[in-house]
């Protein structure tokens, strides 16, 4: 069960990383430069992934899930602000919609799902918290770390170049 929690946490990080890589796809292939609010949303996703990565490195603790939930809540505010800017009828939206929804709406869904995922993982943690868990530094942890460092560095470079 401890192994399952570790795998789920790593999967959480990989899913968020995939979303951030998809954002880069839209930035460079569709030529849609991110605005400051978009950058704040990307920051929120990196924040959630960093908090979940703490579980892989230091052991699964509720404080790390709480940090992830806080990151998701702050980033949700940013998404809601951006949705509010473009929600009026006849007002132009920012960027091309993806499957009918704008990217900032998808970001709101990602953050909402992150909060639900943290809640589910906390329930799972609650059932098995008495099991001894020694955090390891295997392939899963190393690949999550490498992916996060790569994505954060890429964001630094591209934001500097903008």
**Among the listed residues 78, 103, 110, 118, the single contact to other proteins using CB under 8 A:** 78
Q: Residues 23 to 42: which contact other proteins by CB under 8 A? A: 36-37, 39-40
Cβ atoms of 1 and 131 within 8 Å: the answer is: yes
Considering the complex, what minimum distance in angstroms separates the CB of residue 76 from other proteins? 11
The token pair at 162 is 């903008």
Q: Which is nearer to other proteins, 93 or 152 (CB)?
A: 152
C-alpha Rg value of the chain to the nearest Å:
17
Of the candidates 159, 154, 153, 149, the residue with the CA atom closest to the CA atom of residue 13: 149
Considering the complex, what minimum distance in angstroms separates the CB of residue 116 from other proteins? 20
Q: Residues 53 to 72: which contact other proteins by CB under 8 A? A: 53-54, 57-58, 63, 67, 70-71
Q: Which range touches other proteins (CB under 8 A), out of 22-30, 91-99, 119-127, 150-158? A: 150-158
Q: Which range touches other proteins (CB under 8 A), out of 9-17, 91-99, 115-123, 148-156? A: 148-156
Considering the complex, what minimum distance in angstroms separates the CB of residue 144 from other proteins? 10
| Interface positions with other proteins (CB under 8 A) | 36-37, 39-40, 43-44, 46-47, 50-51, 53-54, 57-58, 63, 67, 70-71, 74-75, 77-78, 81, 145, 148-149, 152-153, 155-156, 159-160
């Amino acid at each position: 069960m401890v192994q399952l929690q570790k795998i789920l946490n790593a999967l959480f990080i990989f899913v968020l990383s995939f979303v951030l890589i998809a954002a880069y796809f839209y930035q460079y292939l569709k030529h849609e430069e991110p605005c400051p609010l978009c950058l704040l949303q990307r920051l929120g996703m990196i924040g959630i992934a960093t908090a979940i990565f703490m579980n892989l490195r230091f052991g699964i603790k509720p404080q790390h899930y709480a940090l992830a939930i806080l990151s998701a809540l702050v980033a949700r505010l940013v998404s809601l602000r951006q949705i509010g800017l473009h929600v009026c009828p006849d007002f132009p939206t920012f960027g091309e919609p993806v499957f009918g929804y704008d990217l900032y709406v998808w970001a709101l869904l990602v953050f909402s799902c992150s909060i639900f995922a943290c809640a589910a993982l906390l329930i799972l943690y609650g059932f098995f918290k008495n099991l001894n868990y020694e955090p390891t530094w295997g392939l899963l942890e190393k690949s999550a770390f490498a992916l996060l460092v790569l994505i954060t560095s890429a964001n630094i470079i591209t934001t500097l170049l903008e």
